[in-house]
Amino acid sequence: MVTNTEIKELGHFINGEIVAGTSGRFSDVFNPSTGAVIAHVPIATKEEVQGAIATAQAAFPAWRALSVSKRIDIVMKFRQLLTARMDELIDVICTESGKTVEDARGEITRGLESVDLAINAPHLLKGEYSVNVGGNINAYSAKAPLGVVAAISPFNFPVMVPLAITSMAVAVGNSVILKPSERVPCSALFFSELWKEAGLPDGVWTVINGDKDAVNELLENPTIEAISFVGSTPVAEYIYKTGSQYGKRVTALGGGKNNMIVMPDADLEQAANAFLGAAFGAASQRCMAISTIMPVGEETANKLVKILAEKIAKLKVGPYTDADVDFGPVITKQSKDAIIGFIDRSLNEGATLVCDGRNPDITGNPDGFYLGPTLLDNVKPGMEIYEQEVFGPARNVVRVDSLEEAIDLINAHEFGNGVTIFTNNGAAARKFTTDINVGMVGVNVPIPIPVGYHNFAGWKRSRFGEGHMFGPDQVRFFTKTKIISEKWFEENSESASTFAFPSNED
């Protein structure tokens, strides 16, 4: 367990054990609530990554050969351990990310949905079989693991995202290398030990800590068959283009600029309450956070902004050790400064400040990376804070005259991650869900994140590649399909050569 007073020297998880880094390069891991350094994480060299890949490759044949039922026994044991030690993991998450206890618990619970889906791998791996497709030939398909696959995860979900992009990969028989964010390495190392305790063979699961050099080796190394990534759009695009250039299967999920449309017939109290959690939960450091609320009509906007201002004023920001706080700090001082810059520039561009969270009073934690909730009204398309993803608690009100105008604005934006509408009008909801060009859509649902057994991914520049993070598509992404056609001749049967293209007419 990481505490606020100790500074831990971390390592990598290779071949079933924690190993020290050899590069001599380290990155500081902070407790965002206090601003204090809590750990030093090694930054891997290219050679260290190559060694980790070789270890994973050596472990793959035996893991692939193990029956799927025995693999699932290990996944189930891992789930049991994760559940039993949830409180310990919550403390790790909160300490290195600044999340509240409630938010960390919710993240783990969501991550367990991906583990639960992986437990169903025996069913999901089943192929197809056709009898006598022609000429006494039977045809069937079989799914096989790819080999060594890699996952690169972000800081904002140190448990949920790694579990979402690796659990199925392990269950279907791959060796997996995880490169977590160097800002939150403790969580990944914690549940690596759980994989070991669950009985996962050494080398099947690897955690390598590093920066762009480590990522580039994963992208370029010919042993790596597939890459899963979640992060910002510029990096997602780089991961996709580079990995594809080297012949890898790539799913790279990027940023979002998620909108909530509020129709005049909506219950404004309900819509406002939904917006608060969806907009400011986890200090707005979620790719599915609502960043822009679009009230339809001037009267709706005036009423809604007044309600939001009153509710936002009551929100409390502080350390996770305070059970009464609504959300905690942002991840780094650099992030805090960048968010303040977005707010300042938006005011210069003509936005109106409704609630100002740039200088919160955090008693007892003056060095933490805190920002209070900020709400900006009269934000227009073209403003920087409208166009770009702001990974922090600075949210926008964009006033529109009609549902059609809101749909057009959202469809014109480069991101297409998530969107929702609050209305009691079925026709409006139907038009919205039909016409909107966004990957995940909600109706009176504040954050339209699907459960773990549905696919998760945005559209447009929120996703590169064709895979998904959650859901059954994970099986397709982490396996390759072999099609077998077979015919058995009866003893002493006659046959003749044929030069026509094979058909099923016989």
Name the residues annotated as catalytic.
287
**Sequence-ordered strand ranges (E) for 181-275:** 205-207, 224-230, 249-253, 258-262
Task: Report d(CA 415, CA 387) in Å as an integer.
Answer: 9
Q: How far is CA 305 from the centre of its chain?
A: 31
Among the listed residues 18, 36, 43, 33, the one whose alpha carbon sits nearest the alpha carbon of residue 91:
33
Task: Report d(CA 85, CA 435) in Å as an integer.
Answer: 45
Helix (H) / strand (E) containing 386: helix 384-387
Label residue 442 left, alpha or beta by phi (over 0 means left) and psi (-120 to 50 means alpha): beta
Among the listed residues 210, 188, 230, 187, the one whose alpha carbon sits nearest the alpha carbon of residue 95:
187
- State both tokens at 502: 């094979």
Q: What is the DSSP string of 343-409?
A: HHHHHHTT-EEEE--SS---TT-TTS-----EEEES--TTSHHHHS---SSEEEE--BSSHHHHHHH
Q: What is the CA radius of gyration of the chain?
A: 25
Q: Assign 260 to helix, strand or coil.
A: strand
Through-space distance between the first and last CA atoms of the chain, rounded to whole angstroms: 68
In the block, residue with structure tokens 């996952």: 151
In the block, residue with structure tokens 């050494």: 202
Q: Assign 87 to helix, strand or coil.
A: helix
Q: Phi, psi at residue 365, to the nearest 5°?
A: -135, 60
- State both tokens at 50: 């190559």
Among the listed residues 262, 168, 191, 196, the one whose alpha carbon sits nearest the alpha carbon of residue 471:
168
Task: Report d(CA 29, CA 52) in Å as an integer.
Answer: 23
Whether 138 and 371 have beta carbons less than 8 Å apart is answered as no
In the block, residue with structure tokens 């003056």: 366
Task: Report d(CA 43, CA 482) in Å as an integer.
Answer: 39
CB neighbours of 4 closer than 8 A, spacing ≥ 6?
31, 34, 36, 38, 95
CB neighbours of 374 closer than 8 A, spacing ≥ 6?
343, 353, 355, 356, 357, 358, 393, 394, 395
